[in-house]
Amino acid sequence: MLPIEKIIADHGPSMGVIIQACRVFLQTATQQELDTLIEKVNPNWQEVALLSKVHRIRPVVFRVLMTSIAPAARKEQFKKVLQLNTIQNFTIATETERLIDLLATAGISAIPYKGVAYSKQFYGDISMRESSDIDLVIKADDLPKTFALFAKDGYQQFNPGLYKALGQEQYVVLEKDLSYDKIGNGADRFHVELHYKITHPRFGAPDRINQFDLSSTVASELNSGLAQFLTRPEHFRAITLHHLLHDGLEYLKIFVDLAVGVTSLTKSVDTDNSTSTASVSDLQTALSSLATTYHTNALFLAMDKLVGVGSIVVQQKSKEEENLSSKIVVFNLDSTVGRYKRHRVLSLLNHYKRSISNRAALLRDEKERKRFQKKYWINLFMPQQADEEAIPLPQFLRPFYFIIRPIRILLRKKSD
């Protein structure tokens, strides 16, 4: 692990307290060490709360800080956030179970994935992650069966124009999921993603590793009843690939998630009441398919530097992977600067440059790295269906979308 003093020197006291809280949660630091650090640096608690939110790890950090010497007033604020998160996650879990049953009536098998499912299967508690969406794994051929079913249930397809324009055959090649929204008030609002691939094709993951292994599932409780889950090694493999590419390694949540996964998979007691636990070799085997294409060692070495978990699954690390892991740590902890503010154009472009370069560096093949970067930049600024829907233009003005697209991109915030 990196010395906490170095993290503070490079990234500030607030980040140091957050990292130390994560280490306490993962039992790679003690509560006493955290209290000593808090007493020493006297962090800006508003910044601690903000960065914890930005990094999407408030349930972990705030629970640890609740038993620390943090000020009582701050603990009361943390408690309220935790209560709201718990309520939201239980609401999401209840709706997830209902949708699984609804889909089953149409002969569609749906498996909960990421979100509250990962929280339950690996953390042992559905309230330990910040979740907003409902993620379900289904077969691509079942997508058309969901249209009438979801419409009748009050859900609206997120981007019906794109599916209609492409058709089923092309859609499942060019996209990774189909999404629905239920527009309501408060607890009645839900966003559902029906996944048939792990990551979007634009990230270039080979088909052989971008598919879910559904040959074996395990029955486990989500909230009030049993559901079929991915096996824990497969769920961990899928979320590792997702984090590796989709989120660009920007959030501490990624490393906390994976650290909890490694710890859970290699300890003697299962959290999902299944009959077997994975050994370190089982975990390495599950990750081997990813390691042939990506520098997964760099991911877990970075995780080990941050929270002290990860080296157990590292095999035959190279100097390149060691250097890359250090860059990932700096990128992760620095990339939060200003993310919660409106960005200037150059700041946003630099963010895209670093994020895309970060993903490309994980590829083992140098030619693939260059191909990925070129393709990603081109696709980023190519007109999309969403641009046409946001600003409808007649056919003869369609070339203007090549101007509109970059403008819309540059008006974004990093959090988009």
Task: Identify whether residues 54 and 112 lie together within a single domain.
Answer: yes
- Mean pLDDT, rounded, of the chain: 88
pLDDT, position 415: 39
CATH number at residue 161: 3.30.460.40
Please answer whether residues 61 and 51 qualify as being in contact, where contact means their C-beta atoms are separated by less than 8 angstroms. Answer: no
Residues in the chain: 416
Integer Cα distance of 351 and 391 in angstroms: 26
Give the number of other CB atoms < 10 A from CB of residue 233: 18
Task: Identify whether residues 133 and 119 lie together within a single domain.
Answer: yes
Number of domains into which the chain is organized:
2
Integer Cα distance of 416 and 405 in angstroms: 15
pLDDT, position 25: 98
What are the backbone dihedrals phi and psi of residue 335, each rounded to the nearest 5 degrees, phi first? -70, -10
SS3 (DSSP) at 196 = coil
How would DSSP label each residue in 109-122?
--EE-SHHHHIIII
Which of the 8 DSSP states describes residue 341? S
SS3 content of the chain, % helix, strand, coil (to 5): 60, 10, 30
Quick check: 26 pLDDT over 80? yes
Compute CA distances 274 → 23, 134, 137, 218, 269, whole Å: 27, 23, 20, 7, 9
Task: Identify whether residues 19 and 35 lie together within a single domain.
Answer: yes
Q: pLDDT: is 386 or 95 the higher one?
A: 95
Task: Identify whether residues 291 and 395 lie together within a single domain.
Answer: no
Distance of CA 78 to the CA centre of its chain: 23
- What letters, b where the CB count within 10 A reaches 16 and e where it falls short, cover 322-333? eebbebbbebbb
Range with lowest mean pLDDT among 115-129, 225-239, 336-350, 366-380: 336-350
Q: pLDDT: is 313 or 335 the higher one?
A: 313
- Final residue of a structural domain among 314, 341, 368: 341
Quick check: 337 pLDDT over 60? no
The stretch 254-278 carries a mean pLDDT of 71
- Final residue of a structural domain among 341, 362, 393: 341
Give the number of other CB atoms < 10 A from CB of residue 33: 14
pLDDT, position 65: 98
The stretch 381-385 carries a mean pLDDT of 80
pLDDT, position 363: 93
Residue 228 exposed, middle or buried by CB count within 10 Å (0-12, 13-18, 19+): middle
The predicted-structure confidence for 91-103, as pLDDT tens digits, reads as follows 999 999 999 999 9
Task: Identify whether residues 148 and 47 lie together within a single domain.
Answer: yes
pLDDT, position 125: 93
Q: Whole domain around residue 306: which residue ranges?
A: 4-341
The predicted-structure confidence for 56-73, as pLDDT tens digits, reads as follows 999 999 999 999 999 999
Task: Identify whether residues 98 and 201 lie together within a single domain.
Answer: yes
Task: Identify whether residues 94 and 212 lie together within a single domain.
Answer: yes
At position 247, the amino acid (one-letter code) is D
Task: Identify whether residues 312 and 355 lie together within a single domain.
Answer: no
pLDDT, position 61: 98
- Final residue of a structural domain among 289, 322, 341: 341
Q: How many CA atoms lie within 13 A of 358 on its CB side?
A: 25
Task: Identify whether residues 137 and 110 lie together within a single domain.
Answer: yes
Distance of CA 28 to the CA centre of its chain: 23
Quick check: 280 pLDDT over 90? no
Quick check: 340 pLDDT over 60? no
pLDDT, position 56: 93
Residue 77 exposed, middle or buried by CB count within 10 Å (0-12, 13-18, 19+): middle
Task: Identify whether residues 253 and 287 lie together within a single domain.
Answer: yes
At position 44, the amino acid (one-letter code) is N
Pairing of strands 217-221, 156-157: unpaired
Quick check: 341 pLDDT over 50? no
pLDDT confidence of 342, banded at 50, 70, 90?
Answer: very low
pLDDT, position 188: 72
Integer Cα distance of 393 and 312 in angstroms: 55
The predicted-structure confidence for 119-166, as pLDDT tens digits, reads as follows 999 999 999 999 889 999 999 999 999 999 999 999 999 888 889 989
pLDDT confidence of 262, banded at 50, 70, 90?
Answer: very high
Which of the 8 DSSP states describes residue 383? -
Task: Identify whether residues 11 and 30 lie together within a single domain.
Answer: yes
Task: Identify whether residues 90 and 227 lie together within a single domain.
Answer: yes
The predicted-structure confidence for 201-228, as pLDDT tens digits, reads as follows 988 899 999 999 999 999 988 988 889 9
pLDDT confidence of 278, banded at 50, 70, 90?
Answer: low
The predicted-structure confidence for 305-334, as pLDDT tens digits, reads as follows 999 998 888 888 899 999 999 999 998 898
pLDDT, position 224: 85
